[in-house]
Amino acid sequence: MAQVLEFRLPDLGEGLTEAEIVRWLVQVGDVVAVDQPVVEVETAKAMVEVPCPYGGVITARFGEEGTELPVGAPLLTVAVGAPAEPGEESSGNVLVGYGTTAAPARRRRVRPAQPAAQPANGAPREAEPVGGEMPVSTARRPASAPGRTHRVAAPEHHDGPVPVISPLVRRLARENGVDLRQLAGSGPDGLILRADVEGALRAMTARPEALAAPADMAAVSGPVTSAPSAAVRTTAPTGGTRIPLKGVRGAVADKLSRSRREIPDATCWVDADATELLRARAAMNAAGGTKISLLALLARICTAALARYPELNSTVDMDAREIVRLDDVHLGFAAQTERGLVVPVVRDAHTRDAESLTAEFARLTEAARAATLTPGELTGGTFTLNNYGVFGVDGSTPIINHPEAAMLGVGRIVPRPWVHEGELAVRQVVQLSLTFDHRVCDGGTAGGFLRYVADCVEQPAVLLRTL
């Protein structure tokens, strides 16, 4: 006699509380092996294949493609010990890494042990080169990241037994004056989903008198939803196209808003003659072996500058009122993809040479374009390098990748008139900009960092002398 087991959406780690079903990898009636991937989901950080810890026959699936489910919601049921799969048991694994190394799937159609359940309600979601105008990490730094860790504030809780898992749902409700205790959740066991809050907001927009603006509305940024806030206008617009702030785009919006709210940033910039840096790279590549990328040389300069100015490789713990200076440099870089802007992280960048940096940049960029970056490869950065010059622009004022303390922006390198050795000449000039958290240092430190970077760009031998 088969035993029907329920497999729920597991905790995907990194503070994630919900995911969207992108693609089912199995059908009702399929036979699956232990740890076989059964569904592909998208979080705010990455695409993840979720393996099932049970082996047997799929008897039901919960949620159509495009449905957003909270952690803990049912994904599917499996008949374990059915005649088609004798002896299959649970592997004990809930999620194998952030993908799977399971053996190739064995799929076979058989009659399901029981009728398929109806899909659970949920809110549907819409699902070149290195660079980007406003790069952000789609996720918080994990507490277990290599190097010195930092403290984070304990998660907030609502008063009363409100069935809410997601902190994003709580914040969305709080910032728009929605009383969660008045909502009936559409999720499993009455769980309140983001769709429930958004539905309440739409109802409030239709009846503006029902919406009471929160007392601290002036102190927070706009709501993280496309629904208008009645505190700003009382009638919905009749035209235009609404694009949900979800998935990667929603994570970007949250990250940028938080950075602007919490970080008192300042920006300084300088033009630098990059002619000698380009010549040095050409000479290195002419010698044979691995071709060194310009981004790798800039990254090498950044890590050397951070060794001299460690204040910029830090984060701020406002709860403890402490600046946490980090020992290791995990260098993020902006990568534009079809899914949006992501910031992969090169671990221990300060220990890598130019060849190693080139290889890691290439690997992570390819993974970003293929949407195979893991959450671990998108979190834990301590400093970000943003090469927006690939978009053909000269300068920008980058928004800091919260909770980091600084970001270096690099514009395009173009021939310009320049005074070189007392004479006017055409040189290859680049604009460098540094946005920094003014809480961790003052302008003297930031200016010293940027000037050192510019000196290394203009005279690469400066870098060799300081190593």
Residues assigned a catalytic role = 438, 442
Largest CA-CA distance found in the chain, in angstroms, rounded = 90
The letter for the amino acid at 114 is Q
Could you tell me whether strands 345-346 and 331-333 are parallel, antiparallel, or unpaired per DSSP bridges? antiparallel
Distance, CA of 24 to CA of 65 (rounded, Å): 7
Secondary element (H or E) of residue 386: strand 383-387
The 3-state DSSP composition of the chain as helix, strand, coil percent (nearest 5) reads 25, 25, 50
Give me 417's structure tokens. Answer: 């008139």
Exposure b/e, 31-56, CB count within 10 A at least 16 = b: bbbbbbbbbbbbbbbbbbbbbbbbbb
Give me 334's structure tokens. Answer: 């902006």
Could you tell me whether strands 74-80 and 68-70 are parallel, antiparallel, or unpaired per DSSP bridges? unpaired
Q: What are phi and psi of 268, to 5 degrees?
A: -130, 155
Q: Is 456 exposed, middle or buried (0-12, 13-18, 19+ CB in 10 A)?
A: buried
β-pair partners for 340: 337
